[in-house]
Structures are given as structure tokens and as C-alpha cells.
Amino acid sequence: MDRAAAEIRIANLVPELNRHSHLYHTLDAAEIDDRTYDLMYRELELLEMRFPDLVRSDSPTLKVGGGAVSELAEFVHRIPMLSLANAFSSEEIADFDGRCRKNLGDDAPEAITYVVEPKLDGLAAELVYERGTLVGAGTRGDGKVGEDILHTVKTIRAIPSKLLGDRVPDRIAVRGEIFFDLAGFEAMNARRVARGEKAFENPRNAAAGAVRQLDPAVAAERPLTFKCHSFGEVEGFEMPDTHSAQLQVLAGWGLPINELNQSATGADAVNAAIAHLGSLRHGLPYEIDGAVVKVDSIPLQAALGFITRSPRWAVAYKYPPPQVHTLLQAVGFQVGRTGAITPVAHLRPARVGGVTVSRATLHNEDQVRQLDLRVGDTVVIERAGDVIPRVVRAVDDAAHASRPPVTFPTVCPECGSPVDREGDQAVLRCTNALACPAQLRAGLRHFASRGAMDIEGLGSKLVDQLVDAGLVRRLSDLYRLTYEQLVSLDRMGSKSAENLLEALEKSKGRPLERVLTALGIRDVGEATARDLSQHFHTIDALSAASRDDFAGVSGIGPVVAERVAAFFADPRHRGEIDALRELGVRFPEVEEGERITGGVDLGGQVFVLTGTLPTMDRNEAKKRILAAGGKVTGSVSKKTDYLVAGEAAGSKLTKAEELGVTVIDEAGLVALLAGV
């Protein structure tokens, strides 16, 4: 893939991954399965590795999970809760072992000893004990700040409120997984159904929902349990120097640890342990989605250290998701916000991974061709944990060849306009923009969404009603809606109508970057919208800018520049912007005080971060370097310009000193960024 293609792909992947991460971590409402997410994430990682200068400041590879939102209080992790890199095959486990040995260099033992643990599919949590008493509990959140869940955690019987014994630390932050065991989950669902309530779809979401309840009484009705697998800060206690011995210490305090943890030395033994766990998997009383492999020795862990998002000394092996066979009854087509036409498989309903599936996404035409899917085929579908399943392949049968291949629409299935395929891209697009009702609906939903105009009360159902009733044909029509029109709609009371008009009025003053996001320019998400508004300050300057002007904005490459220029050059869009202004949308100028200044240009200099910085966390430092045009890599080499070293800097510092790389501390970095 060349640079331009990578840039487009990254521009698509980043907002998509961020959206799914938010759906998964914050809203407990995943739309895609974990494996699809992991594959997309992996693709992004590879692209970013090949084109490090295309790493965007909003890339999910720079953070860990979704943020804390709800009415729960914040819970700060003194040491960030990290996430794990994934592996999907025994080869990747062998690679992981090889990397560990290579990174340890001369310090590597003959064969490394690992602990192989079940990867519980629950909700990550941290429990804080002070002098043996449970005093705090939080969800992982974004890794640094989660939500305070002490009130619900106190209702979980597996979690001791006091540690056993009298040799306990002054303070310890124990980490583990809160989950349902399957029997408890089923029993709870049976009780719910008996009471006329809806059964929960899967244990993970039900656990997340229960723990984040505001009312502990509701949580207490749900039979949650807990197992711990690690810890954060410890004060006033000397922990042993292997992970396995540390777990034994935790167990001695009465904390539940997993009874299936295994020790394994060398890659083959690790793979055997993973396979053993896999063979037990479906008979276990709880769900596991993989195995976590950790270097046992703490000194070796310390020598291996971390990369931005995860430790180098551990990896999560993901078991393949459950699969079933079913019939492909038809292929339908869906039109998205940017006009992309996505094929959708209509299936004979089948149970897979605990839910009934009747639809699956097929991504694009290339995928359908590659899989050579034909209506009437028996297909293998899989579903890993969450909602939208995928079609893996068609099962070979004699009649397959006699079935006609799937035909793709030559006109938009929603509005009948011609379709287009850009360059050699696999995606078919409706060319009718917002004149296509499907694009209009999706565009309106986006316009009203949180990160855009944030119009409360304008949800999917209402958008459909407004479009179907012909009241809204373009974005600006929203601001033409009258009270009389609104109350004439089904199920719209006078109070809701008033509230909506008020919300619309309120949205007119949204900052320029949000309005830009709301316009739905392809490949312009929140981060690019911010870059644009910070650079141009006014809608007039944006409208007057040329492609070259856009390409000059830091963070924007030639392809996105072209798109933005084309958007503003289109008379339909200019007309919409004028209409929005006439109707009162203010497109506020980015005032002096809101401008992010001090923009030094690090001119592509290469930084490596190591150790704990006193005030900035590593992601923050990385973001600021990237934003100033610098690059951040993971390892020190002759090409490194600066090593930013914090407390407990290890092998990287030694290496930098050997190579004569300039070593600076946080204050030095701040000074550089400020252009001092």
C-alpha cells in the first residue's frame, strides 16, 4: 500500500475504531465483535508502523479504552491500568517469546518461564485496600481515570472487605476481572424472564451494567464474582520477585485468584498450556475469551518494560470465536452516511455464541467476490462476544457452482442514483449525497450527535420520522422546523416539541470545530475538524482556502486536503453553509484565547520515551510531540534525536548513553515544546 492509500485507510480506521471503542467501553453497546475490532486495530498498527508520520493524535493506539462517563464519580488509577497486545496463533506466541528473548539480549535465560492464565471476559476493576480494609474500587475507564464503583463492589461476595492475616500492605491496588459465572447468569436471566423483564444478551455486558449501577441494591441482585490477576501500587510491603509468587501472596490475603493458572517454560510449553486451557474452555463455569501469557520473573518484566499501551512482557492469546453453519437466504444492501453501499447477509436464524443471528455484515464487494458467496449457499458464521457477526466462508457443495453470483447494484438501492467506485477501491458509493434519503438520515444522525451539534432529543427514530414526513430534506431544514410541524408527528407531545426546538436553538452556538465535524465532510472527524478550525479560525477563511492551503495544515495530508477542498468548492455545500448561517448557526470565530499557540515545529525529530515522567503521562507526552511535528518510536537507535527519560528509566537510558543520544527529562521536553 502506498502512502496516499495508507493515509485514506488510516483516516477511515481511526474514527471507526474510536467509535467502536466508545460503544464497547462506555456505552456497553458494541456493534462489532471483538475479533473484527482486533483485526482493524492490528491493521492500523501495521500502517502506523510503516508510516510513522501518519500517526494521528486521535489514534486509538495512543490510548487504552474508553473514557469514564456517567453519573458515577471519577476514580483515578495512581498507576495506569494497561491493556495487552493480542496474538491469534501459536506462531504469534513463538514470535512473542522470540521478541522477549531478543529484547532481553544477554540477560535472557536459556528459556523464559511464563505464567499462562485464563483471560476472563468480564469487566476490569481495581480494588484499593488500606491497612487491609477495602476503601476504594474503580473501573478501568481510559486506563488513568475510571468510574468509582465501590458501592457496587461491596455487594460482591468474592471480594473480601478485609484482607486476611496481619502482614498486609499499608496500601495495595489489586486488579482483576469482575464477571458472571454462567450458572449465576442463567439463573438471573430465568428470574428476570419470570418477572417479565428482558433477559441479558451476554455476561460481559450484564456485568458491566451491574457494576455501573448507581443503586447498589440492583447490583446486589446480580450474582457477580471476581478473580484477581495483578496489582498496581503497593506501599509498605515487599512483594516477591515472580508473578506466580505474588499471586500466592494475594491468595494468602483471601483474594480469589484463578485456579487454572499454569506455569510454562519456553514457547512450546506455553502453546501446550494454551491448548490445554482451550480444551477445558467450554466446560468452564465462566466465559474466557483467551489466555494471558506473562513473563514470570519480575526483574525480567522490568527489563522488558512497556510500549505506549501495553507491557512488552505479556500478550493475550485470543481463542478463535465460535462458528456455526447456516443458510445464506439473500444479500441486501445498506447505504451509509458517506454513501458507502455495504452488502449485508440475510441468514436463516442460527444460534451462535449464545445469541440468535439473522444478519451479518459483508463489508464490501471484494469480500463477497473473494468468498464467492452465492444466495442458497450454506455459510460458516462466527460471533466473538458481541453483536454483529461475520460470514467466514461458504461451505463447498455440489450445487454452489450452479447458483448465480451475487449481483451488485448499479444504482443506489435507496434513491436510484448512479453509483461510483473511486479508483480501485472496493467501496461502491451512492453519488447523490444528501439528496439520497439514506445518506440524509445518517448525515442528520451524525449532525445531531454528541461530538457534533449535540442536539438532545434528536435520535434515530425522530430523524426517520422527519425525513419520511418530508419535513427535512437537508441539514439546514432542521432549523426551519416549527412547533406545529413537530407536534403533528406521531408520538410527539408539546413538551418534547418545545424541548427539541430549544435544543436546536442551543446548538446554533456550537464552536467552529464542532460545526465542521457536524457537516460530515468525508474523513474529517473531530481531530481534523479541530486542526482545521485552529488553523483557519473562521468559516470564511475555510471557504476561501485552496487545496494547497489545506495541505499546509499540520496533521492533514494531500488526500484529506483534496477532499476538504472539494467539499468547500461544491456549490451545494456552500449553499448549505449559507443557509445554516441565515438560520442562525453562528460558526463562531476561534478567538485569540482559544487558539493553541506556542507551535514549535520539531521537524520530524525522533523521540523515545522511557520511565515515569513526574507530571505528564507517556501518552500525553507522545501526543504533544506528535502535535508539534516530532516522531515517537519505541526503541533507541542511532536515528533517535532525544530520549525523554523519567524515573526508573532502564535499558533504553543505557543504550542512549552508549549511542550518545541526547537525554532530556520532562522539564527539558516542556522547554523544547515551548520553543525555548
Catalytic machinery residues: 119
Residue 407: Cβ-neighbour burial (10 angstroms; 0-12, 13-18, 19+): exposed
Residues 261-300 as x/- pattern, contact with ligand IVH by CB under 6 A? -------------------------------x--------
Select from 77-85, 208-216, 377-385, 399-407 the region that touches ligand IVH (CB under 6 A): 77-85
Number of residues that bind ligand IVH (CB under 6 A): 15
Q: Which of 7, 48, 58, 117 binds ligand IVH (CB under 6 A)?
A: 117
Q: Which of 146, 311, 389, 555 binds ligand IVH (CB under 6 A)?
A: 311
* Of 229 and 624, CB closest to ligand IVH: 229
Closest separation in Å from C-beta 552 to ligand IVH: 39
Q: Which of 32, 82, 267, 440 binds ligand IVH (CB under 6 A)?
A: 82
**Maximum distance among all Cα pairs of the chain, rounded to whole angstroms:** 79
Select from 103-111, 151-159, 310-318, 381-389 the region that touches ligand IVH (CB under 6 A): 310-318
Closest separation in Å from C-beta 290 to ligand IVH: 8
Closest separation in Å from C-beta 116 to ligand IVH: 9
Subset of residues 221 to 250 that bind ligand IVH, contact rule: CB under 6 A: 229-230
Select from 66-74, 79-87, 377-385, 611-619 the region that touches ligand IVH (CB under 6 A): 79-87
* Of 304 and 316, CB closest to ligand IVH: 316
* Of 253 and 306, CB closest to ligand IVH: 306
Three-state SS annotation for 440-467: HHHHHHHHHCCCCCCCCCCCHHHHHHHH
Q: Which of 23, 32, 72, 84 binds ligand IVH (CB under 6 A)?
A: 84
CA 447/CA 442 separation, integer angstroms? 9
Q: Tell whether residue 115 is a contact of ligand IVH (CB under 6 A).
A: no
* Of 117 and 142, CB closest to ligand IVH: 117
Q: Tell whether residue 120 is a contact of ligand IVH (CB under 6 A).
A: yes
- State phi, psi for 470 to the nearest 5 degrees: 75, 15
Closest separation in Å from C-beta 120 to ligand IVH: 5
Chain residue at closest Cβ approach to ligand IVH: 124
Long-range contacts of 661-669 (CB under 8 A, 24+ apart): 661/608, 661/636, 665/613, 666/613, 666/614, 666/615, 666/616, 666/621, 668/644, 669/613, 669/616, 669/621, 669/624, 669/625, 669/642, 669/644
CA 294/CA 314 separation, integer angstroms? 4
CA 314/CA 292 separation, integer angstroms? 7
CA 675/CA 661 separation, integer angstroms? 20
Select from 102-110, 215-223, 295-303, 309-317 the region that touches ligand IVH (CB under 6 A): 309-317
DSSP string of 291-328, one letter each residue: EEEEESBHHHHHHH-EETTEETTEEEEEPPPPEEEEEE
Q: For residue 485, how many other CB atoms are within 10 A of its CB? A: 15
Q: For residue 663, how many other CB atoms are within 10 A of its CB? A: 18
* Of 82 and 616, CB closest to ligand IVH: 82
CA 189/CA 212 separation, integer angstroms? 18
Which grid cell is 105? 539480549
Q: Which of 293, 316, 381, 561 binds ligand IVH (CB under 6 A)?
A: 316
* Of 291 and 643, CB closest to ligand IVH: 291
For helices 203-211 and 182-194, the axis angle rounded to 10 degrees is 80
Q: Which of 112, 124, 580, 616 binds ligand IVH (CB under 6 A)?
A: 124
CA 532/CA 399 separation, integer angstroms? 55
Q: Tell whether residue 309 is a contact of ligand IVH (CB under 6 A).
A: no
Select from 42-50, 51-59, 113-121, 419-427 the region that touches ligand IVH (CB under 6 A): 113-121
Which grid cell is 522? 468525508
For helices 526-536 and 3-25, the axis angle rounded to 10 degrees is 120
* Of 307 and 371, CB closest to ligand IVH: 307
Select from 119-127, 398-406, 606-614, 663-671 the region that touches ligand IVH (CB under 6 A): 119-127
* Of 294 and 573, CB closest to ligand IVH: 294
CA 91/CA 121 separation, integer angstroms? 23
Closest separation in Å from C-beta 144 to ligand IVH: 13
Q: Tell whether residue 314 is a contact of ligand IVH (CB under 6 A).
A: yes
Subset of residues 135 to 154 that bind ligand IVH, contact rule: CB under 6 A: 140
DSSP string of 399-438, one letter each residue: GGGGSPPPPPPSB-TTT--BEEE-TT-S-EEES-GGGSHH
Subset of residues 157 to 196 that bind ligand IVH, contact rule: CB under 6 A: 177
Report the residue count for the chain.
676
What is the DSSP code (8-state) at residue 162? B
Residue numbers at the binding site for ligand IVH (CB under 6 A) = 82-84, 117, 119-120, 124, 140, 177, 229-230, 292, 311, 314, 316
